[in-house]
Amino acid sequence: MKSIETYSPRKLSEALRILSERREGIRVIAGATDIIVQVLERKKDPGALLNISYLDELRFIREDEGTVRIGALTTHREIERSPIIKKRGKLLAEAAFIVGSPQIKNLGTIAGNVANASPVADVVPPLMVLGSVLTLKSSSGERRIPIGEFATGPGATVMRPDELLIEISFPALRPDEISFYERLGQRRLLSISKVGVAFRARCAGKKLSDVSIALGAVAPRVITAPRTAAFLEGKEYSEEVAAEAARIVESESKAITDIRSTESYRNRMAGALLIRGFARVFQSFPG
Amino acid sequence: MTTIFSLIVTMVPPHLNPPPQGGRRIERTYEEWKRTEVESVRSKAKAADMAAYKYIGKRITRIDARPKVDGSLKYPSDLYVKGMIWGRVLRAKYPHALIRAIDTSAAEKLPGVVMVLTHKDIKGINRFGIERQDQPVLCEDRVRYVGDAVALVGAETKEVAEKALELIKVDYEPLPLLIDPREALKEDSIKLHEKGNIVHELHFTRGDIGSGFAGADVIVENTYTMQMMDHAFLETEAGLASVDKDGLLTVQSCGQYAFRDVTQIARALNYPEEQIRMIEPYTGGAFGGKDEITVQILLALLALKTQRPCKIWFSREEHFISCTHRHPVEIRMKTGVTKEGKLVAHEVWVLQDGGAYATLSGPVLCLVIEHCCGPYLIPNLKVDGWAVYTNNGMSGAFRGFGATQAHLAMESQMNILAERIGMDPLSLRAKNVIRRGDTFGIGEEMIMDFGVDQSLEKAMKHPVWTDRERIKREGSSGGRGDRGKKRGIGVACCFQGSGLGKGLPDYAATTLELNKDGTVTLFQGTIEIGQGSYTGITQIAAEILDLPPEKIRFVGADTKRTLDSGTTTASRVIYAAGQATLLAAKNFVEMLKGEASKIVKSPPETLLVEEGNVLNRSGRKTVSYREIASSLKEPLRAEGVFHIPVADREFSMGLPHTVFCSNTQIVVLDVDTLTGEVEVKKVIAVPDCGTVINPINVEGQSEGGIVMGMGYALYERNVIENGYFKNTGLSTYILPTSWEVPEIETCAVEVPEETGPFGARSVAEVVTTPTAPAILNALYDAIGIRFTDLPVTPEKIIDALERKKKKQ
Ligand SMILES: Cc1cc2nc3c(=O)[nH]c(=O)nc-3n(C[C@H](O)[C@H](O)[C@H](O)COP(=O)(O)OP(=O)(O)OC[C@H]3O[C@@H](n4cnc5c(N)ncnc54)[C@H](O)[C@@H]3O)c2cc1C
């Protein structure tokens, strides 16, 4: 057995102090569900670890004044079951349900999913369309950046080595907003996303406005689909409109072929999932 | 008829001699069996009599359930001893290369490394292989696939062993690759082995294929391609070995035939067989994947060299690249039928990619050929089959053993033919089925009862089949929510031989011993690989001895304690080892009566056994098993040996079989035409396994087999590119999970097998074979597209739907 130097602070301030002192030489772990796999697969020495999972102050889901705030350590399980999220960030609850298996959901955290900066991360597309803001904190201060500016490529972010992601917040969904997250894996659950589509818009009758769409697993990072969103802006939902939107979103998708799927299937499915999501929402939507 | 043999038959000799260690043995061949037992099996196995049994046919909890759940039962990977070292294998860097030199000096210097071994440290033939020994334990001058073992490290910890692997320098000269099995057939291809690239080939003709096709009204020709598939058992290959001061080598490991493992170790390392003890009762899943040698010889070598206890446990990745898989196969079939639904001619061409070494490629090809007509009579047949070597990993035994691949093609053909002549697909099957007395396939004779007709009949009457139009309509929901869902219902049928077939020693043996406390110990040399056969065997003994199963102690495969009972493969254990146990138990009861008669002073023929006692018919004089045990100086021990019946004529090694099981399945599934996703909703299975010894176990086999078949049809594939495995973990090798498991209903037909224990046949392989073709047939029913290439992924479905749309 190998021993790994591990710090398990009980206070955020202490964690930030360790980070600022150690900088590059230490890695943060929360649920460790991503890290463990990376360490095992790359057979690399992870160096020292900063285990933040005891920082209970980062474990919360709150709604204040129209803003939903989620603490970094909140698990997928907690999100999936939260009455606040089910009501105020419905598609995020849908995404959290999809993540891995019950075991993974009990350990994996929302911040871990975001900080890992994987293009296939399931909670990121929903957070994008919700207009989420990330709070990054270091011992020298705090900054807030929109989630769209966070990841720069697979595994790469604008976060500094002395920073922790401590909170994710977004404007609570209002009753006149619709949202969905649809994704495809190689099997129903416990599989990595082949393509994921997050959608949010205001909807009056069937008229869409303030449309936001994000796509997972079809580019080196989670991307938005601005042309599709622009097309849908102000349109009444109909099957024809959905079909046209699907065609546009397919051209915005920039997938590649790999062991899990093909480029053409993924791009096509970005459209298919949009259609599927609309069908699901509008069959239950009043009016 | 012509057959070309390229087999060197060096099967392991029987280990039954010398005869029993004391006690008495009853040995029965089929001929003797017929004279003495058939009538009683026939009359007793009638459904009405089943109620008379105390333990047979009952839902008895598995004897290994509790210790497996509470963790007290040790699987091979659970074994640790003080002072043990870890072994790790250096695998080949290239799928095909010459080895110019191996330098282990740096690795040896690493602190914690005990020893680094190469081929130079091996005294024996340094080869293994069930059918022929062509696979090196540690490669000498050449590697032929990426799983080839080049060096073996023994170190104090796993981590040091791992590190040492990186320090071994191997000087390779990469060679051109042979990755296309068609290329392997060519005269001028690269030769992977001295004798060429053909492991085995078979060519048969029966009747007159030309006039057969001339008499057909409809002829259908298709090529089916099947992928390489992994057994994906829960426990990867593991074991522990040690040597005592007298030189006795004990290997506890996974495996499927302990006695053959002894022979393979002895031969490869030139170590005396008597000095080797294999203990391998419980294995964490096998499905054929642990039939060939995995860790055994490496463990033995390391223990003998270091004289330390040592442990080897393959990682999942190592398992994927080094171990055997289900053969990728290409099968071309041309089949003719009359408009009345009589099959008249069948031409079959098979090309099977065996990978780098022989293992069981030859016998698997034999079974593809044996089952290529399905369970149907076709008078005119021509088959040509080849199994070849390539640099594509390794393929060998896998549940179904070739019959799976053969039926995938044939059961697709049957549905296509049925549609073309406008006949119900189950009726077409029923019209052509093999019955007892028929000459079928390559010219074999069905000498035993065979239940496929009854299986088909029961499937045809099942409400899911009779009501299929309504069920289909309900599922295809058009414009509502689940947009574009299309439901399809498909069927497929299959059969498969039990046992190893003609030409291979095929027997089983059980020993029973009376313990001082009146309980009985049952010694059985087959292996519990998860199928539940130790429980079934215990039930058989319990029934004859009239002793509750908890009073029977089970001792599984241990070459120094149990008799050789053959392989745990080929759907043979409950049938053969069960029958040997029945014989042993009858023998044991006779001996008990003999001893009891001395105590109760009544002649043995007036005595009966009941609930652990021997009593006379009036029930007045009773003597318990425990009293008998304490009256004896020598322990009372009885043996039973059963020889599986064999056909008169031999076609090729392992061909043909004599005892056959069958199964019919109905699959209901939904296809999402928007995304190409397939959801299997329901599967009805109608296996004929003879008498059901334990319904829980038959259902367990059936349900597991169906999910495995779903994996084959829809999800699983070992991806190999240029000789390298691309998916070596369970996140990229996609298995179905509990979310994919449909509603499953298993309703067996019980056509008693007159040579089987209480009429039992077997069930382990036929449970998986029909699922994939039934899924293909259901897909066709749903969306009108015929898939012939596995697995059918959503990508393929979407592409096919698109092509179909464009054509219209
Ligand atoms: C079997 C399995 C199935 C999975 N299935 C899915 C799935 O379906 N969908 C999906 O999206 N993901 C899936 N995952 C990935 C993973 O579970 C999630 O991404 C999870 O949310 C990661 O959270 P964690 O707390 O475990 O992260 P960790 O592994 O602890 O950390 C991940 C990365 O984030 C960094 N990090 C973590 N927290 C912080 C923080 N507060 N501030 C700064 N950096 C931080 C770490 O340094 C590390 O680089 C799966 C993983 C496994 C093993």
Same domain flag for B497 and B523? no
From A281, which residue of chain B is nearest by alpha-carbon distance?
Answer: B481
Q: What is the mean pLDDT of chain B?
A: 93
Per-residue pLDDT, averaged over B224-253, amounts to 98
Instruction: Say yes or no: CB of residue A31 within 6 Å of ligand 1.
Output: yes
Q: Which of A43, A275, A279 sits opposite B481 (nearest CB)?
A: A279
Task: Kindly list the residues from chain A whose CB atom is less than 8 angstroms away from the CB atom of residue B794.
Answer: 184, 265
ipTM of the complex: 0.95
Same domain flag for A146 and A189? no
Task: Give the tokens for residue B171.
Answer: 């000087």
Same domain flag for B522 and B546? yes
From B478, which residue of chain A is nearest by alpha-carbon distance?
Answer: A279
**Domain span holding position A133:** 56-171
Q: What is the pLDDT of residue B483?
A: 62
Q: Which of A193, A276, A285 to mutate to test the interface with B (most CBs of B within 10 A)?
A: A276
Q: Which of B159, B162, B318, B675 to mutate to test the interface with A (most CBs of A within 10 A)?
A: B675
Q: What is the pLDDT of residue B29?
A: 67
Instruction: Say yes or no: CB of residue A116 within 6 Å of ligand 1.
Output: yes
Instruction: Say yes or no: CB of residue A29 within 6 Å of ligand 1.
Output: yes
Residue B735 Cα, ligand 1 centroid: separation in angstroms?
22
**What CATH number did the domain enclosing B46 receive?**
3.30.365.10
- Measured in angstroms, the CA of A14 and the nearest CA of chain B are apart by 33
Q: Is residue A113 part of a domain?
A: yes
Q: Is residue B49 part of a domain?
A: yes
Q: What is the pLDDT of residue A210?
A: 98
Q: What is the pLDDT of residue B504?
A: 86
- Measured in angstroms, the CA of B220 and the nearest CA of chain A are apart by 31
Q: Considering B599, B624, B643, which residue would you say is the last residue of a domain? A: B643
Using a 10 angstrom Cβ sphere, with 0-12 exposed, 13-18 middle and 19 or more buried, the burial of residue A214 is buried
Neighbouring CB atoms inside 10 A of B84's CB total 18
Same domain flag for A264 and A197? yes
Same domain flag for B447 and B563? no
pLDDT band, residue A148 (cuts 50/70/90): very high
Query: Cα separations (Å) of B768 from B685, B701, B713?
Result: 10, 9, 11
Same domain flag for B664 and B792? yes
Q: What is the pLDDT of residue B647?
A: 87
Q: Which residue has the higher pLDDT, B212 or B11?
A: B212
Same domain flag for B677 and B780? yes
Q: Which of A1, A187, A279 sits opposite B737 (nearest CB)?
A: A187
Percentage of residues of chain B with pLDDT beyond 70 = 93
Task: Kindly list the residues from chain B whose CB atom is less than 8 angstroms away from the CB atom of residue A37.
Answer: 731
d(CA B138, CA B147): 11
d(CA B397, CA B361): 8
pLDDT band, residue B4 (cuts 50/70/90): very low
Q: Does B157 touch chain A (CB under 8 A)?
A: yes
Sequence-ordered strand ranges (E) for B39-92: 85-91
Look at ligand 1, atom 14, and give the residue with the nearest C-alpha.
A100
Same domain flag for A186 and A167? no
Under an 8 A CB cutoff, do B726 and A283 touch? no
Q: Quick: pLDDT tens for B305-364.
A: 999 999 999 999 999 999 999 999 999 999 999 999 999 999 999 999 999 999 999 999
Asked whether the beta carbons of B97 and B143 are under 8 A apart, the reply is: yes
Q: What is the pLDDT of residue B7?
A: 30
- Measured in angstroms, the CA of B795 and the nearest CA of chain A are apart by 6
Residue A29 Cα, ligand 1 centroid: separation in angstroms?
9
DSSP labels for B511-571? EEEE-TTS-EEEEE-S-BSSS-HHHHHHHHHHHHHT--GGGEEEE--BTTTS-----S-TT
Same domain flag for A149 and A98? yes
Same domain flag for B549 and B677? no
Q: Does B732 touch chain A (CB under 8 A)?
A: yes
**What CATH number did the domain enclosing A137 receive?**
3.30.465.10
Instruction: Say yes or no: CB of residue A109 within 6 Å of ligand 1.
Output: yes
Q: What is the pLDDT of residue B10?
A: 31
Q: Which of B159, B732, B798 sits opposite A265 (nearest CB)?
A: B798
A-B Cβ pairs (cutoff 8 Å, strict): 56
From B34-48, B156-170, B208-222, B382-396, the region with the lowest mean pLDDT: B34-48
Sequence-ordered strand ranges (E) for B696-755: 720-721, 724-725, 743-746
Q: What is the side-by-side order of every strand in the sheet holding B678-688?
A: B485-497, B660-672, B678-688, B743-746
Same domain flag for A110 and A32? no
- Measured in angstroms, the CA of B510 and the nearest CA of chain A are apart by 44
Q: What is the pLDDT of residue A24?
A: 76
Using a 10 angstrom Cβ sphere, with 0-12 exposed, 13-18 middle and 19 or more buried, the burial of residue B183 is middle
Residue B287 Cα, ligand 1 centroid: separation in angstroms?
34
> 3-class secondary structure for A66-132?
CEEEEECCCEHHHHHHCHHHHHHCHHHHHHHHHCCCHHHHHHCEHHHHHHCCCCCCCCHHHHHHCCC
Same domain flag for B712 and B784? yes
**Domain span holding position B487:** 433-506+653-808
Instruction: Say yes or no: CB of residue A95 within 6 Å of ligand 1.
Output: no
Residue A110 Cα, ligand 1 centroid: separation in angstroms?
8
Q: Considering B643, B671, B704, which residue would you say is the last residue of a domain? A: B643
Same domain flag for A25 and A39? yes
Q: Does B726 touch chain A (CB under 8 A)?
A: yes
Q: Does B421 touch chain A (CB under 8 A)?
A: no
**What CATH number did the domain enclosing A25 receive?**
3.30.43
Percentage of residues of chain B with pLDDT beyond 90 = 88
Same domain flag for A162 and A194? no
Same domain flag for A194 and A126? no
Q: Considering A171, A186, A201, which residue would you say is the last residue of a domain? A: A171
- pLDDT surpassing 90 at residue B21: no
The helix or strand, by DSSP H or E, that contains position B772, with its residue range, turns out to be helix B771-783
Q: Does A42 touch chain B (CB under 8 A)?
A: no
Q: What is the pLDDT of residue A230?
A: 98
Q: What is the pLDDT of residue B50?
A: 67
How many domains does chain A divide into? Answer: 3
Q: Which of A189, A268, A279 sits opposite B739 (nearest CB)?
A: A189
Task: Kindly list the residues from chain B whose CB atom is less than 8 angstroms away from the CB atom of residue A189.
Answer: 737, 739
Task: Kindly list the residues from chain B whose CB atom is less than 8 angstroms away from the CB atom of residue A187.
Answer: 715, 734, 736-737, 739-740
Q: Is residue A1 part of a domain?
A: no
Q: Does A183 touch chain B (CB under 8 A)?
A: no
Q: What are B91's strand-pairing partners?
A: B149
Under an 8 A CB cutoff, do A187 and B739 touch? yes
Task: Kindly list the residues from chain A whose CB atom is less than 8 angstroms away from the CB atom of residue B732.
Answer: 259-260
The CB-side HSE value for B634 (13 A sphere, CA atoms) comes to 10
Residue A113 Cα, ligand 1 centroid: separation in angstroms?
4
Q: Is residue B143 part of a domain?
A: no
Look at ligand 1, atom 50, and give the residue with the nearest C-alpha.
A100
- pLDDT surpassing 90 at residue B39: no
Q: Quick: pLDDT tens for A251-280.
A: 999 999 999 999 999 999 999 999 999 999
- pLDDT surpassing 60 at residue A1: no
Q: Considering A127, A148, A171, which residue would you say is the last residue of a domain? A: A171
Residue B738 Cα, ligand 1 centroid: separation in angstroms?
23
Per-residue pLDDT, averaged over B594-612, amounts to 93
Q: What is the pLDDT of residue B14?
A: 44
- Measured in angstroms, the CA of B716 and the nearest CA of chain A are apart by 10
Q: What is the pLDDT of residue B649?
A: 87
- pTM for the structure as a whole: 0.96
Nearest C-alpha neighbor of B422 from the set B313, B492, B478, B339:
B339
d(CA B411, CA A87): 51
Same domain flag for A119 and A196? no
Q: Which of A259, A272, A279 sits opposite B719 (nearest CB)?
A: A259
Cβ contacts of B647 within 8 Å, gap of 6 or more? B444, B445, B447, B502, B656, B657, B658
- pLDDT surpassing 60 at residue B781: yes
Q: Considering B643, B663, B690, which residue would you say is the last residue of a domain? A: B643
Q: Is residue B648 part of a domain?
A: no
From B254-263, B392-401, B632-641, the region with the lowest mean pLDDT: B632-641
Task: Kindly list the residues from chain A whose CB atom is less than 8 angstroms away from the CB atom of residue B483.
Answer: 275-276, 279
From B6-10, B457-461, B471-475, B644-648, the region with the lowest mean pLDDT: B6-10
Q: Quick: pLDDT tens for A211-267.
A: 999 999 999 999 999 999 999 999 999 999 999 999 999 999 999 999 999 999 999
Q: Is residue B103 part of a domain?
A: no
Residue A249 Cα, ligand 1 centroid: separation in angstroms?
28
Q: Does B72 touch chain A (CB under 8 A)?
A: no
pLDDT band, residue B30 (cuts 50/70/90): low
Q: Is residue B15 part of a domain?
A: no
- pLDDT surpassing 80 at residue B480: no
- pLDDT surpassing 90 at residue B476: no
pLDDT band, residue B5 (cuts 50/70/90): very low
Look at ligand 1, atom 44, and give the residue with the nearest C-alpha.
A115
Same domain flag for A22 and A78? no
Under an 8 A CB cutoff, do A283 and B731 touch? no
Cβ contacts of B361 within 8 Å, gap of 6 or more? B131, B199, B200, B327, B352, B354, B355, B387, B395, B396
Q: Considering A171, A194, A217, which residue would you say is the last residue of a domain? A: A171
Q: Does B218 touch chain A (CB under 8 A)?
A: no
Nearest C-alpha neighbor of B571 from the set B501, B522, B505:
B501
Asked whether the beta carbons of B788 and B227 are under 8 A apart, the reply is: no
pLDDT band, residue B22 (cuts 50/70/90): low
